[in-house]
Structure formats: C-alpha cells, structure tokens
DNA sequence: ACAAGTAGCTACTATATCGTAGCTTCAACA
DNA sequence: TGTTGAAGCTACGATATAGTAGCTACTTGT
C-alpha cells in the first residue's frame, strides 16, 4: 500500500526501472518488514519476502541491514507507538483518557498485531527481552507522568506504587485483547479505571 | 530427557535398534513437540527436529499426524494446565489461593513459555484463535466456580460480572509476566486481589 | 557534463524443511 | 511357529531461505 510503486513484473525489459533514492528505499524496506511482521509474525519476515513486497532488491536490503534482527529492530523502533499523556486536571480524568486511548490502539492499531510476535521472541532471546521491556516502559510512561501530577496535587498517598497502578489498568485491557479475546468497549475500560482508583484514593481520586 | 533412549548415532550397524510401542512413540513425539514449542517457539517445531529429538523416525510421525498443525494441536492439548479451584469458605480466600496458584504457574511452568507462541499464532489464524479462547476459558473456569459459590453465600451483588473480575485479577498477573517483565511476588498478587475485591463487596468480601 | 555512488538484476552455493516412496526388521499375537 | 502390523532406515524431489558475487544502469552532486 504505502510504498509499492514498483511492480516486479517486467524483468529487464519494460522501460520503467524506476529507481528510488537511498532514503526511499530504506523507508520502503522498513515498512514492508513491519507489514510482514503484523501479517505473518516474526518468522514470516524474510529478506526474500521483504524484497518482493517493497520492490527493493534483496542485495540492496543486505547493504543496509546485515542480519534479519537488525532489520526487524529498526522496523519495530520506527513504528512503535507513543501514547500521548492527557492532562485533564484530575487523576480520574487523566487515567480514563489514557486508558481509552490505549484501548483504541489495542483494537485498531497494527501495533497490537505485531506485539505478540515480539513477546514471543522475548521469551527466548535475552536481548529481545531487554529491548521489549525498555520499549514497553517508554510506552507506559504516561502513567508515571499522570501519577506524578496527581501526587503534586495531593491526590495520592506517599506509599503508592505507579507500577501497580499501571498493571491494574493496562493488565485487564491487554488480557481482553489477547487472552480472553473479549470485547473492549468503553464501559469495560471505565470500569477498570474505577476499580484501580478505588483503592488508594478512596473518595474522589 | 523423557523418552530419548535411542541414539541415532549407529546407522544400521549397532545391535540396539530398540523399537518402542505405538503408544510410547506417540508420547515421545508429543513430548518432543511441546518441548520444542517452549524452547524455540512455533516456528521451531518441525518434523525433522521432532524426529531428531524424540528418536522417532520422521515417517512414523507422519503416520500419526499428517500436518504440523495436527501435531502441535495434540501436543498443546496434552500439556495444557488445569488450575484447581480452591475452596476456603470465603471469596477473598478462594481468589487469593487461585491467584497465587496462577502466579506460580506463570513463573515456573513450561506452559508460560509456550503461551506467547499460541497467542501469536492466534493473531493470524482464526482456528487457532478459537481454540485458544476456548482453552483459555476452560483454564479460567475456576473464577466462575468461586464466584458462583460466593454469590450463593450472598457475598456478591446481582449486577456482577465474572469476566470483569477475571480480567481484574489475571490481567495484572499476565501483564507483569509477559509485558512489563517485573517481579511477581506474593505481595503483588495479594494486592491485585484486594483491589479487585474492593469494588463490589466493599467491607469484608 | 562528468564522476561517483548505489539501486537493481541474475546467478550461485548452502542449508532447512516438507512430504513421499520403498525397503528392512523387529515384536506382538494367534 | 509363522503371519502381520508397524517402527525405522535411506533416499528422493520440491521449495524457501540465508547470504554472496559480479555486473549494468540510473541518480545525485559537483
């Protein structure tokens, strides 16, 4: 879809070789790799297939990424989502907005299709595991920011653990998306947030 | 480990062909397949490798499972865990016991290593997805049983959703095991249960 | 307009895997 | 004891992939 202007149909005959620039070629390769990752999983990403899809010659891809891991790494980095941190003025409002945004991405994004492959790879590869948890922490940093603001406003006690709050909210959403495969509607998301709030900041949150 | 008595070293020469029975051969194949699944992921399970590991001839494996999917399906079925449902007399006690058992399996079981591969496959294969959610529901049926007993005792209101409770408890545990890769100690597990309880059954639960 | 860099092509080796065929040999059972 | 079912072996052919080499021809920067 994105950058597949070149058809491989005409082998050294048609009058349209249509070469692309260095940057265009890199971008096309990464896009195809990520596309493949979401469609066919980690093992579905091969140099041959990336070449076929992007229209970039295999040898050219090898020029920029010597191994499959390098290519995949760059692809994932480039397309990793960043949740933007809302600022509504209250802890409850911020968390609800953040959770709804996360649920949105879980349901529609290509990212949520690629994620299980990465989790799977992390299970058996220490480097991938470290990369994954770091990337993941970055993606969830919104929770820390929100909690810090709430703490400054005095909405949260001192003996409070952001990572528990994150797990309490992100956990159920992830669970529904990948494990129980149930609906992730707004009512559920709001319920999750309410439950997570109803523990430390009892009254209003 | 389990059933690898036969070394492939001696090709039609040594005096120890050591043939096994039909059942033994099947069991060895399934065990090897599951072992490979946990060690190398879905794509690591090939007929050649299962044959190598189990010591069962590839042609023999083909006799019983015509496709890779069939072999994997049987292997997963055979080794899928069943959480036993505790009965302590109170909702809080039951949920705590169940959650602690789940956390235990998440940390030590081979099952938790194989799970991401299945989740990943389910992402792209409708049949796998259906199989996965059915199997998963079975594994989580303890929550329903516990909730039913609690409801009979009057510990839970009528407008109560078991699936939300399940997500509120299993979600954070899964999240820590696979996504944030943080510690899953008893304190965290108990905290998760308390938070899940502190919503419908306010006082004692 | 010219030179250098580089995208793209064909072709190759080596390996892993799928899936099948035909044969040999063991073990259980009548 | 003899028949028969089945495990195990070797050996195919076909396909997919990793990774490299050498060449052609286009693009970019001067």
Q: Residue A159 CA to C22 C1' — how many Å?
A: 74
- The pLDDT tens digits for A22-39 are 889 999 999 999 999 999
pLDDT at residue B199, as a whole number? 54
A6 contact to strand D (CB, 7 A limit):
no
pLDDT at residue B81, as a whole number? 84
* Span A186-193, average pLDDT: 97
Which of A163, A170, A172 minimises the CB distance to B168? A172
B44: left (phi over 0), alpha (psi -120 to 50) or beta: alpha
Contact A180/B137 with Cβ under 8 angstroms? Answer: yes
pLDDT at residue A159, as a whole number? 80
Residues 6+ positions from A204 with CB-CB distance below 8 Å: A92
Say which nucleotide is closest to residue B10, CA to C1' distance: D9
- Give the closest residue to A192 by CA, choosing from B171, B175, B144: B171
**Is residue A165 pLDDT above 90, yes or no?**
yes
**C-alpha to C-alpha distance for B48 and B58, rounded to whole angstroms:** 6
Query: Which domains does chain B possess?
Result: 22-78 (1.10.10.60), 81-197 (1.10.357.10)
**C-alpha to C-alpha distance for A176 and A182, rounded to whole angstroms:** 5
* CB-side neighbour CA atoms (13 Å) of B49: 17
Q: Residue A20 CA to C9 C1' — how many Å?
A: 15
pLDDT at residue B63, as a whole number? 92
- The pLDDT tens digits for A117-140 are 999 999 999 989 999 999 999 999
Torsion from C-alpha of A114, A119, A120, A124, nearest 10 degrees: 140
pLDDT at residue A191, as a whole number? 96
Please list the alpha-helical segments (H only) found in B80-176.
91-108, 111-124, 126-139, 141-152, 162-174
B124/A119 Cβ within 8 A: no
A9 contact to strand C (CB, 7 A limit):
no
* CB-side neighbour CA atoms (13 Å) of B26: 9
Contact B36/B112 with Cβ under 8 angstroms? Answer: no
A25 contact to strand C (CB, 7 A limit):
yes
- The pLDDT tens digits for A50-62 are 999 999 999 999 9
pLDDT at residue A18, as a whole number? 63
* Span A166-178, average pLDDT: 98
pLDDT at residue A143, as a whole number? 97
* Span A90-119, average pLDDT: 95
- State the Rg of chain B over Cα: 21
A113/B116 Cβ within 8 A: no
Contact B99/B193 with Cβ under 8 angstroms? Answer: yes
pLDDT values of chain B reduced to their tens digit, one per residue, 205 residues: 333 333 333 333 333 446 678 888 999 999 999 999 999 999 999 999 999 999 999 999 999 999 999 999 999 998 888 889 999 999 999 999 999 999 999 999 899 999 999 999 999 999 899 999 999 999 999 999 999 999 999 998 878 899 999 999 999 999 999 999 999 999 999 999 999 997 544 333 3
pLDDT at residue B99, as a whole number? 98
Higher pLDDT, A6 or A51: A51
Which of A116, A170, A195 minimises the CB distance to B195? A195
Which of B39, B129, B163 minimises the CB distance to A124? B39
A15 contact to strand C (CB, 7 A limit):
no
pLDDT at residue A199, as a whole number? 54
């Amino acid at each position: 879809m994105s950058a597949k202007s070149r058809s491989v149909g005409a082998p050294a005959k048609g009058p349209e070789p249509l070469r692309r620039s260095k940057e265009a070629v890199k971008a096309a390769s990464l896009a195809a790799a990520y596309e493949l990752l979401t469609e066919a999983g980690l093992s579905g990403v091969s140099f041959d297939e990336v070449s076929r899809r992007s229209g970039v010659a295999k040898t050219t891809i090898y020029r920029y990424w010597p191994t499959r891991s390098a290519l995949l790494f760059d692809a994932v980095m480039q397309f990793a989502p960043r949740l933007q941190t809302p600022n509504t003025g209250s802890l409850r409002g911020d968390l609800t907005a953040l959770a709804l945004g996360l649920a949105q991405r879980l349901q529609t994004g290509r990212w949520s299709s690629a994620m299980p492959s990465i989790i799977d790879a992390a299970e058996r590869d220490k480097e991938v595991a470290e990369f994954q948890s770091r990337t993941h922490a970055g993606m969830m940093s919104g929770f820390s920011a929100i909690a810090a603001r709430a703490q400054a406003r005095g909405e949260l006690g001192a003996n409070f653990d952001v990572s528990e709050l994150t797990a309490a909210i992100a956990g159920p959403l992830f669970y529904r998306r990948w494990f129980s495969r149930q609906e992730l509607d707004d009512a559920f998301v709001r319920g999750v947030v309410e439950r997570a709030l109803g523990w430390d900041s009892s009254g209003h949150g």
